[in-house]
Amino acid sequence: MTRIDFYILPGAALQDRWLFACRLIEKAYKIGHQLYVHTDDEETTACIDDALWQYRSDSFIPHRRFDQQLDMPAPVEIGHQHDPKEHHDILINLAHETPAFFSRFHRVAEVVVQQPRSLDASRKSYAFYRDRGYPMKTHDMRKK
């Protein structure tokens, strides 16, 4: 069964959310996981793509946007309108809705910033997962 992790960040800026997502991606990639980063729209997909290129000068995270036509999938793919059929490992959901394909992943990470839209979406997602019996864990990054 899919495990759901909520990461509650202290800041309200979208850049905080993207930077934290980059940290999660790097950590998971370095231990051999494949990831799909799901966003709401083209703009956010582009921002995450840019953030991964600029994240750390001493680190490279092989990634691609899901809409790019490449023969080989990358360990980290980013998209917003696609069902990533070949991915099953880790989903980082940066969209405000729970994607229909979430349950085929081993883990889902929901990254929450302190802004009304993000908080409302995370409350709905939490209730959605809870009502369906998914194991969940909350990581309150405000206390760290």
Q: 97-125: buried (b, 16+ CB within 10 Å) or exposed (e) per residue?
A: ebbebbeebeebbbbbbeeeebeebbeeb
Helix (H) or strand (E) holding 22: helix 14-30
For 77-122, the pLDDT digits (tens) are 999 987 888 789 999 999 999 999 999 999 999 999 999 999 999 9
For 27-53, the pLDDT digits (tens) are 999 999 999 999 999 999 999 999 999
- Domains of the chain in start order, with CATH, are 3-143 (3.40.50.10110)
31, with CB counted inside 10 A (0-12, 13-18, 19+), is exposed
C-alpha 49 chain-centroid distance: 12
pTM of the model: 0.94
